[in-house]
Structures are given as structure tokens and as C-alpha cells.
Amino acid sequence: MPASALALAHPPSDPAEAALDAVFGALADPVRRAILARLDGAELLVSELAAPFAISLQAVSKHIQVLVRAGLVTQQRSGRVSRCRLDAGPIYAAAVWLNRYSKYWQAQFDLLAATLHDIGTQKPKPPRRRRAPSRK
């Protein structure tokens, strides 16, 4: 059974795990990541968020709803107007979860740094002289 099917068959019982799953699911889509980037430091109307995308306003609204359900975006409605704002709190929780695994890639960065240091401290070899062709 694929992992995605297993996840659907056995949803997490812990609310924190379910929230983390929603955040990673929301971040998995490039359109949603672009929406979050546009909301960084700004509060925008849905129509303003949709402007740069080559998809319908309805499709952008669906992406926004995924972000809202994941807790990454808050919406304030006033009649038919809806303003969106970034809520970075859930991203922090995801970063904390990811940081638990930093020890695995940190060792690779340390090895790369040592290798680059060794390369930088080696003396360059003098260029080889070419012998002039002999004339007969």
C-alpha cells in the first residue's frame, strides 16, 4: 500500500500531528507557496492574490481555503470582499519538526566544508612547460 493511501486509511489521532500533516500538505503545492510568499508582510484581497496566476479566481480561492484549513492564512470577510493575511505560526511548528533531522545533513555540510578547506590550502601545481618541437 502506498504511503499516501496508508495516511488516508489511518489518519493521525494526535491533533498536533494532524496540523503538521495539513501544513506539509499545503506547502507541497507551488501555487500555495507563491500565495504565502505574496502575503509575506502584506494583507491582500483574494483578487489581488489571484492576479499573477494563470488560473481562475475560483482555483485560487480553493488554494487559499487549503491554506486557511492548515492555519497558514487567515481571512477577514466584509460582505463580498475577503482579505487574506499570513499566519506563520504553523510554519514554525514545521520548521521545528524538520530541525530534528538537521543532524543528518549537518554532517554532510561539515564534510563539504572540510573538503573545500583542503582544496583551498593546497598549493597550485606549476604549469607544465611544453617542449619546443625539435627541428630537423
Q: What are the structural domains of the chain? A: 3-91 (1.10.10.10)
Nearest to 67 by CA among 96, 97, 40: 40
**Torsion region of 41: left, alpha or beta (phi above 0 gives left; psi -120 to 50 gives alpha):** left
Q: Supply the pLDDT for residue 1.
A: 45
Give residue-wise pLDDT tens across range 95-108: 999 998 888 878 88
> In the structure grid, which three cell numbers stand for residue 55, read together?
488560473
User: Would the pLDDT of 112 be above 60?
Assistant: yes
The confidence score (pLDDT) of residue 86 equals 97
Identity at 76, one-letter amino acid code: Q
Residue 10 identity (one-letter amino acid): H
The H or E element containing residue 105 is helix 102-121
Indicate if the pLDDT at residue 5 is higher than 60: no
In tens, the pLDDT along 52-92 reads 999 999 999 999 999 999 999 999 999 988 999 999 999 99
pTM (2 decimals)?
0.69
Q: What is the pLDDT of residues 8-43, one digit of tens each?
A: 556 677 888 999 999 999 999 999 999 999 999 999
Three-class SS state of 26: helix
pLDDT value of position 10: 60
